[in-house]
């Protein structure tokens, strides 16, 4: 057999958990092989074992038939294994060439021979159709370009086995198409590719075979041509998944949030939201779809007062929010489950109790005349922990000690408990397992049924399609279209997300 | 007093005062470019000054004299400086201590240890004075150039030229050699460097030890040119001023050189200012605090924003993002 | 309060204790290598703290500014700021309190609080600048505070020299109505320089604890220190909290200076260099794990070491600088707690 990589019966333990349990992955020469699994299933651990960052407890690795011990990334490099990291490993202030050659620089009289290096980079980039300017600084080129540099880094070192770690998460649809083209060119040139992903569509369109892992266990390897998305999904989750969520049709009432003509700048001073209009009604869930980086985060930050509004108005129950401080916005009746729960949602070293009053600590009964009332704070926390089924040893436990799902439940408890008229849920299920996802979706729908307006922002189309009542698609800072969730499909949304406005607009209504 | 007289008073004094600052700032540059904050420059200078004086006194006691004594003293100071900096390296790189706190501890330790040893060796709080100092000399040929000669090349310390020359050499090393590229990559994005096969912690050790070597040399030059003996108050703030020069010079060797010369000028003016017509009305305190005020202004972005290496101050832990 | 602390309480106590032990142990080795008997040395040191009411009085006197300097560092640290500028804030606080003490002539009930307050305000002002720069321009507070230290040193000297100088390179003495010195305390402690300042220091510990752990403002300050993004999300004003933290921290440091000016000395000298109290404050805060009680205990240790060192030198001949080395080593080991934790985990594992 001509396997270039064989990872046989790999087992990797961390204190308290088995991250990889008896996983086998075999990569044929010249194929694109998908590694599929839910968040936390153990994909990254397995690849870090292959790349030499972790040592497995059991199992063997063979490269081109020979048994090897990969104890650090240098050995992986020498074996021709290259990794295209999800979070780019690039020095912003260096040029493309400097990033590619560092650690392995051509020299002339002890000086880095940048000219020669740039020429080599140019030659490789031509050969694989990866055009980049070798003298450009990383901080000045687009995300798609930066990814090319990541690929070039591995090729410059002579890698012929490339691992792509969730490479499409940060790309626009066009960039994804380009990347697929690049991957096909690489394979045609004799390279072999492992693609780590949890996106079924990508696997169907580009991969030859697919290895599925679930909760650290190897489930099996299938030929992509002999399977379909539903079968892959079932393998990944472990049961027939009908991602459809049980819900009754929405009964939308009056408009709660009215955004009109809103323009917001991002942190670099570029317009991220451009003259945007959007209405959300009581009793409905509005899904906000779009490729990452099309202004969704900026829109939410503007609504919640975390980002300055450039122009336009945001009205909650006919009251203007623009110009209000975040605290006033919160007080006027907005709940916000933030995108990044560790960065924004929680103070990880505070106890659950202290986190529960993060926005209300200054109000009675949690404090009086600026003096905190801990008994009341912890009593409230205890109640919410019970009501929302947050699994924690106690309300005094630091938030850090909880699992991701339970941290998210604590945040949702806090935000929902304030009974806001308008609830924002930004990527509420990112990184969670299917069980937690289902419970969070149910919670959002029950809030809707209580008559609240819900804005659900997600990068996962499935989530948007299943939970929302209406779907607004955002592209380059504008809403390109709003469609009814039960009258649309993934394909149509995908087109809209790529900016395809005109053709679809008529049909959707 | 004509302008020429003023210049001939101020410029050599400025270059003279700047030399230890330049050397120490260059040391700080190696460490900080590798991502390790070095508040301990002060303590490293203390070690350098102490070593230089003790070595010179010992060699003089053995009957040696002349250039040889000075050169040996400088070399040993460099060695001791780099060995002593291991304290900071081990704490902040291997033990992941807070780099600033570790630097503070280093400063404490340097003063405590050197004065302790001085008391042990000499039974008093300060050493005797050395007789072999670094002496001033005229640079042949160059000192005869009219105007420039008397200002820059007459009765000057050779160490000043060495310091300026080293700044240029360090600039070249940091920006043009593979070593420099790797050093900077480790300070900007250690994980990227790691995936490219660069040993992050080894580069950081080298950076910190070079800072020890240069700051040791800086302290030695200060002791051998300015004070001539060693006590607990020989080095008071020069290390922090070198740090200021490094930041004011935006972590660039030539920038640090310029900043150090400028600070040297401020120092020279604060001492000689009374003799200069216009400046005699300016209270010397303004010149004394000028370097520090300017550094703050530079950091605040009023004098061009100073932005340090990205990963500075953070220990590198493999496998974490 | 106990409930607020997680299980790691034993660990958080054991690390400072291990660090102190290691520091003292290595100090003993240094004595041994240098030809001193460590047992003689340390017993002289301990006698130099406890054997006489004079020594105890001096130790408590030494603790007073250490506590306040430690509180200053610890308070800023709780908001995620490293205040290296305690030294400078202390100097301006010292000068301001002495200025008020000399210039005004008021009844003691007014004069003394006013002089202390002047010290606090001056220190707060000195802390305000780095706080403002941090909040508005994201300038790292460490470098700014270091620079501010030198500006304080030279400026204070220049002000004394120009306006307040009396023979002896110092300011005149403060009026009795602004003085903390106490004939009663002095006579109780065999005429040490003990003064009422330690009451102020202990009060300051209570104030720090109360602000941080009992008020909504303290909740905000701690939240900002642990996670600025979440604090902003929750509607707190991060910038204002950073500035406030530096103001309060600088205020504590300024009071530390006032204790020297109004208590120990009754005047201010032209300083040839730093008092070292600011840097000692870092050591105290670090060893005291940034808690009020910890700062109190650590101040006693370091204050005791410094006072006991004098007796160690006179009786056992060991240079006082040995204590500086021991303190530096203790900081080193506390800062390197990662490695101590690692070793302890190793040992625990093998037990099981």
pLDDT number for residue A507 = 42
- Chain B residues whose beta carbon lies within 8 Å of the beta carbon of residue A163: none
Residue with tokens 């707190």: C236
pLDDT number for residue A54 = 86
**CB-CB contact of B71 with B248 (8 Å):** no
**CB-CB contact of B60 with B125 (8 Å):** no
Instruction: Name the stretches of chain A with pLDDT < 70.
Output: 1, 16, 172-173, 240-244, 501-509
Minimum mean pLDDT among B264-268, B278-282, C87-91, C279-283: which range?
B278-282
**CB-CB contact of A475 with A448 (8 Å):** no
Residue of chain B nearest A81, judged by CA positions: B195
**ω before B114 within 30° of 0 (cis)?**
no
pLDDT number for residue B268 = 80
CA C194 to CA B202: how far, in whole Å? 51
pLDDT number for residue B305 = 62
**Which residues on adjacent β-strands are paired with residue A63?**
A5, A66
Instruction: Name the stretches of chain B with pLDDT < 70.
Output: 1, 139, 148-152, 154-155, 273-274, 277-279, 303-306, 318-321
Residue with tokens 């903390």: C180
Name the helix (H) or strand (E) containing C147. helix C141-159
pLDDT number for residue B286 = 87
Chains near B (3 or more Cβ pairs under 8 Å): A, C
Chain C residues 104-163 with a CB less than 8 Å from chain B:
129, 133, 137, 139-140, 142-144, 146-151, 154-155, 157-158, 162
pLDDT number for residue C2 = 37
C8 pLDDT higher than 60? no
Residue with tokens 């407890």: A57
Q: Is the CB of residue A330 less than 8 Å away from at least one CB of chain C?
A: yes
SS3 annotation, A378-394? HHHHHHHHHHCCCCCCC
Name the helix (H) or strand (E) containing C119. helix C108-137
CB contact under 8 A, A102 and B193: yes
CA B49 to CA A202: how far, in whole Å? 65
Exposure string of A87-119, with b = 16+ CB inside 10 Å and e = fewer, is: ebbbbebbbbbbbbbbbbbeeeeeebbbeebbe
pLDDT number for residue A421 = 95
Residues C74-97, mean pLDDT to the nearest whole number:
94
Q: Is the CB of residue C92 less than 8 Å away from at least one CB of chain B?
A: no
Q: Is the CB of residue B266 less than 8 Å away from at least one CB of chain C?
A: no
Gap between the terminal Cα atoms of chain B: 63
pLDDT number for residue A244 = 67
C28 pLDDT higher than 50? yes
Do β-strands A161-165 and A66-68 pair in parallel, antiparallel, or remain unpaired? unpaired
pLDDT number for residue C48 = 93
Using a pLDDT cut of 90, give the percent of chain C over it.
Answer: 75
Chain segment C224-278, per-residue pLDDT in tens: 999 999 999 999 999 999 999 999 999 999 999 999 999 999 999 999 888 889 8
CA C97 to CA C115: how far, in whole Å? 5
- Chain A residues whose beta carbon lies within 8 Å of the beta carbon of residue C216: 361-362, 367, 370-372
Average model confidence (pLDDT) across chain C: 91
- Nearest one of C36, C136, C156 to C90, comparing CA atoms: C156
Residue of chain A nearest B174, judged by CA positions: A111
Please list, in sequence order, all residues whose beta carbon lies within 8 angstroms of the beta carbon of residue A231, skipping any fewer than 6 positions away: A222
Question: How much is the pTM?
Answer: 0.86
- Chain B residues whose beta carbon lies within 8 Å of the beta carbon of residue A153: 196
Sign for the pseudo-dihedral over CA of A172, A177, A180, A185: negative
Instruction: Label residue A314 exposed, middle or buried (CB < 10 Å: 0-12, 13-18, 19+).
Output: buried
CA B264 to CA B18: how far, in whole Å? 4
**Which residues on adjacent β-strands are paired with residue A193?**
A32, A162
Chain B residues 3-32 with a CB less than 8 Å from chain C:
none
C352 pLDDT higher than 50? no
Chain segment B102-161, per-residue pLDDT in tens: 998 999 999 999 999 999 999 888 899 988 777 777 767 777 777 766 666 766 778 888
Chain segment C145-181, per-residue pLDDT in tens: 989 999 999 999 999 999 998 898 899 999 999 999 8
Sign for the pseudo-dihedral over CA of C173, C176, C182, C183: positive
pLDDT number for residue A504 = 42
CA B210 to CA A255: how far, in whole Å? 66
The pLDDT-based confidence of C349 (bands split at 50, 70, 90) is low
Residue of chain A nearest C234, judged by CA positions: A359
């Amino acid at each position: 057999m001509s396997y270039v990589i064989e990872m046989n019966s790999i087992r990797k333990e961390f204190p308290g958990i088995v991250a990889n349990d008896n996983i086998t992955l075999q990569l044929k020469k010249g194929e694109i092989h998908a590694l599929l699994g839910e968040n936390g299933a153990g994909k990254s651990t397995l690849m870090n074992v292959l790349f030499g960052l972790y040592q497995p407890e059991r199992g063997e690795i063979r490269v081109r038939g020979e048994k090897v011990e990969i104890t650090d990334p240098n050995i992986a490099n020498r074996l021709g294994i290259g990794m295209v990291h999800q979070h780019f490993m690039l020095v912003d202030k260096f040029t493309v060439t400097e990033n590619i050659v560092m650690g392995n620089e051509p020299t002339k009289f002890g000086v880095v021979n940048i000219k020669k290096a740039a020429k080599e980079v140019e030659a490789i980039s031509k050969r694989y159709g990866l055009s980049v300017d070798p003298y450009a600084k990383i901080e000045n080129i687009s995300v798609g370009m930066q990814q090319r540099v990541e690929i070039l880094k591995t090729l410059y070192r002579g890698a012929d086995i490339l691992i792509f770690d969730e490479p499409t998460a940060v790309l626009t649809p066009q960039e994804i198409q380009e990347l697929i083209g690049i991957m096909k060119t690489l394979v045609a040139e004799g390279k072999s590719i492992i693609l780590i992903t949890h996106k079924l569509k990508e696997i169907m369109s580009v991969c030859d075979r697919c290895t599925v892992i679930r909760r650290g266990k190897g489930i099996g390897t299938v030929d992509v041509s002999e399977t379909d998305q539903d079968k892959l999904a079932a393998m990944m989750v472990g049961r027939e998944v009908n991602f459809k969520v049980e819900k009754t049709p929405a009964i939308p009432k009056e408009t709660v949030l009215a955004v009109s003509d809103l323009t917001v700048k991002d942190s670099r001073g570029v317009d991220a939201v451009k003259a945007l209009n959007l209405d959300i009604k009581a009793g409905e869930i509005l899904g906000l779809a779009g490729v990452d980086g099309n202004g969704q985060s900026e829109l939410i930050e503007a609504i919640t007062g975390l980002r300055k509004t450039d122009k336009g108005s945001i009205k909650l129950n006919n009251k203007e929010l623009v110009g209000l401080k975040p605290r006033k916005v919160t007080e006027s009746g907005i709940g916000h489950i933030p995108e990044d729960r560790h960065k924004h949602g929680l103070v990880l070293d505070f106890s659950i109790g202290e986190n529960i009053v993060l926005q209300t600590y200054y109000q009675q009964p949690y404090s009086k005349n600026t003096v905190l009332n801990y008994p009341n704070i912890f009593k409230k926390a205890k109640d919410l922990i019970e009501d929302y089924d947050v699994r924690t040893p106690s309300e005094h436990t630091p938030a850090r000690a909880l699992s991701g799902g339970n941290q998210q439940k604590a945040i949702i408890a806090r935000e929902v408990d304030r009974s806001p008229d308008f609830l924002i849920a930004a990527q509420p299920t990112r990184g969670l397992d299917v069980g937690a996802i289902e419970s969070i979706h149910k919670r959002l729908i029950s809030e809707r049924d209580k008559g609240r307006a819900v804005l659900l922002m997600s990068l996962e189309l499935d989530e948007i399609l299943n939970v929302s009542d209406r779907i607004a698609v955002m592209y380059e800072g504008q809403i390109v279209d709003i469609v009814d969730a039960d009258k649309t499909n993934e394909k149509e949304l995908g087109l809209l997300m790529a900016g395809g406005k005109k053709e679809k607009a008529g049909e959707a209504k | 007093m004509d302008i020429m007289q003023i210049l001939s008073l101020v410029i050599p004094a400025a270059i003279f005062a700047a030399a230890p600052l330049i050397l120490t700032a260059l040391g700080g540059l190696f460490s900080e470019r590798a991502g390790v904050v070095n508040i301990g420059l002060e303590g490293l200078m203390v070690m350098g000054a102490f070593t230089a004086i003790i070595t010179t006194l010992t060699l003089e006691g053995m009957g040696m004299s002349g250039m040889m004594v000075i050169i040996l003293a400088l070399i040993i100071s460099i060695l001791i400086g780099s060995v002593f900096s291991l304290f900071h390296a081990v704490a902040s790189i291997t033990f992941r201590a807070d780099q600033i706190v570790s630097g503070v501890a280093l400063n404490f330790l340097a003063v405590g240890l050197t004065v302790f040893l001085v008391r042990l060796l000499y039974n008093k709080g300060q050493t005797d004075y050395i007789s072999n100092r670094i002496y001033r000399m005229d640079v042949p040929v160059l000192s005869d150039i009219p105007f420039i000669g008397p200002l820059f090349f007459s009765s000057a310390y050779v160490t000043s030229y060495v310091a300026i020359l080293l700044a240029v050499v360090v600039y070249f090393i940091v920006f043009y050699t593979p070593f420099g590229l790797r050093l900077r990559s480790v300070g900007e994005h250690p994980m990227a460097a790691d995936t490219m096969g660069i040993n992050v912690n080894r580069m950081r050790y080298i950076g910190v030890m070079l800072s020890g070597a240069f700051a040791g040399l800086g302290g030695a030059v200060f002791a051998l040119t300015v004070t001539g003996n060693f006590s607990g108050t020989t080095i008071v703030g020069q290390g922090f001023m070198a740090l200021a020069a490094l930041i004011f010079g935006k972590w660039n060797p030539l920038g640090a050189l310029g900043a150090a010369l400028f600070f040297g000028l401020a120092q020279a003016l604060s001492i000689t200012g009374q003799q200069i017509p216009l400046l005699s009305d300016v209270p010397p305190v303004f010149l004394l605090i000028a370097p520090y005020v300017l550094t703050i202004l530079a950091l605040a972005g009023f004098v061009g924003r100073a932005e340090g290496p990205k990963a500075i101050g953070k220990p590198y832990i493999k496998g974490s993002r | 309060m106990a409930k607020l602390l997680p299980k790691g309480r034993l660990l958080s106590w054991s690390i400072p204790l291990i660090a102190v032990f290691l520091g003292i142990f290595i100090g003993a080795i240094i004595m041994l290598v240098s030809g001193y008997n460590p047992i003689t040395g340390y017993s002289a040191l301990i006698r130099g703290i406890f054997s006489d009411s004079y020594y105890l009085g001096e130790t408590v006197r030494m603790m007073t500014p250490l506590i306040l300097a430690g509180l200053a560092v610890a308070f800023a640290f709780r908001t995620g700021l490293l205040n290296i500028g305690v030294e400078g804030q202390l100097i301006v606080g010292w000068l301001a309190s002495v200025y008020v003490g000399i210039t005004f002539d008021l009844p003691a009930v007014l004069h003394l609080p006013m002089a202390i307050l002047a010290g606090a305000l001056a220190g707060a002002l000195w802390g305000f600048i780095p706080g403002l720069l941090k909040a508005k321009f994201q300038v790292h507070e460490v470098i700014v505070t270091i620079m501010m230290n030198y500006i304080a040193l030279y400026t204070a000297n220049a002000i004394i020299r120009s306006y307040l100088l009396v023979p002896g390179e110092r300011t005149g003495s403060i009026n009795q109505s602004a003085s903390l010195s106490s004939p009663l305390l002095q006579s109780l402690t065999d005429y040490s320089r003990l003064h009422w300042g330690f009451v102020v220091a202990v009060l300051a510990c209570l104030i720090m604890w109360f602000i941080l752990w009992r008020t909504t403002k303290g909740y905000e300050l701690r939240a900002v220190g642990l996670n600025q993004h979440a604090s902003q999300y929750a509607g707190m004003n991060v910038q204002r909290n950073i500035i406030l933290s530096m103001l309060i921290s600088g205020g504590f440091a300024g009071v530390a200076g006032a204790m020297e000016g109004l208590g120990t000395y009754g005047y201010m000298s032209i300083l040839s260099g730093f008092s070292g109290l600011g840097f000692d404050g870092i050591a105290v805060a670090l060893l005291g794990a940034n808690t009020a009680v910890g700062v109190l205990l650590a101040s006693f240790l370091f204050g005791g070491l410094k006072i006991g060192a004098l007796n160690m030198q006179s009786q056992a001949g060991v240079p006082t600088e040995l204590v500086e080395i021991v303190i530096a080593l203790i900081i080193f080991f506390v800062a390197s707690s990662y490695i101590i934790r690692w070793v302890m985990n190793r040992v625990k594992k093998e037990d099981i």
